[in-house]
Amino acid sequence: MTFDAMTTSPVESMNSHMKKFYKVNGKNSISRSVQIMTEGADERVDNILKKSQRELQMSVIGSKLPDAHLFSRKCVFMLHYQFDIRKKHKCAMIADHSWLVWNFEVPSFERDKYGLEESFPRFLNVFQVNLVAIGNQSFLQCDCRLYTRCGIPCCHVFKVTDTLSREMIAIQHWKAFPVYYGSDNSNLSKSLMRKVIWQESNECSGTPISSSIKKNCYRMLSGKLSSEMIYPILCDDVTSLDYRKANYVVSTKNTVTMKQLNEHFSLVTQEVGETST
Ligand SMILES: [Zn+2]
Alpha carbon of 127 to ligand 1 centroid (Å): 6
Q: How far is CA 32 from the centre of its chain?
A: 44
Q: CA dihedral defined by 214, 104, 238, 90, rounded to 10 degrees?
A: 10
Asked whether 167 and 173 are in contact (CB, 8 A), the reply is no
Q: Tell me the β-bridge partners of 132.
A: 139
Q: Put the strands of the sheet holding 233-234 in their side by side order.
A: 207-209, 137-142, 126-134, 98-102, 90-95, 233-234
Question: Ligand 1 centroid to 174 CA: how many Å?
Answer: 21
Instruction: Report the pLDDT averaged over residues 109-123.
Output: 86
Give the percent of the chain with pLDDT over 70: 91
CA distance 73 to 19: 40
CA of 62 to the centre of ligand 1 (A): 25
**Residue 208's pLDDT is what?**
97
CA of residue 133 to ligand 1 center, whole Å? 18
225-253 CB burial, b ≥16 within 10 A, e <16: eeeeeeebbbbeebeeebbebbebbbeee
| Cα 155 to ligand 1 centre (Å) | 6
Q: Report CA(111)–ligand 1 centroid distance (Å).
A: 31
pLDDT score, position 135 = 92
pLDDT average, residue stretch 47-61: 82
CA of 235 to the centre of ligand 1 (A): 18
Say how far apart CA 99 and CA 93 lie, in whole Å. Answer: 4
pLDDT of residue 7: 67
Whether 2 shows a pLDDT value over 50: the answer reads no
Confidence of residue 115 (pLDDT cuts 50, 70, 90): confident
55 has a pLDDT exceeding 90: no
* Alpha carbon of 107 to ligand 1 centroid (Å): 19
Total number of residues shown for the chain: 277
Q: Mind spelling out the 3-state secondary structure of the chain?
A: CCHHHHCCHHHHHHHHHHHHCCCCCCCCCHHHHHHHHHHHHHHHHHHHHHHHHHHHHHHHHCCCCCCHHHECHHHHHHHHHHHHHHHHCEEEEEECCEEEEECCCCCCCCCCCCCHHHHCCCECCEEEEEEEEECCEEEEEECCCHHHHHCCCCHHHHHHHCCCCHHHCCHHHECHHHHHCCCCCCHHHHHHHHHHHHHHHCCCCCEEECHHHHHHHCHHHCCCCHHHCCCCEECCCCCHHHHHHHHHHHHCCCCCEHHHHHHHHHHHHHHHHHHHC
Q: How far apart are CA 11 and CA 17, in angstroms?
A: 10
30 alpha carbon – ligand 1 mean position (Å): 50
Spacing, Cα 129 to ligand 1 middle (Å): 7
Q: What is the mean pLDDT of residues 102-120?
A: 87
**128 Cα–ligand 1 center, Å:** 8
pLDDT band at 128, cuts 50/70/90?
very high
What is the Å distance from ligand 1's center to 41 Cα? 36
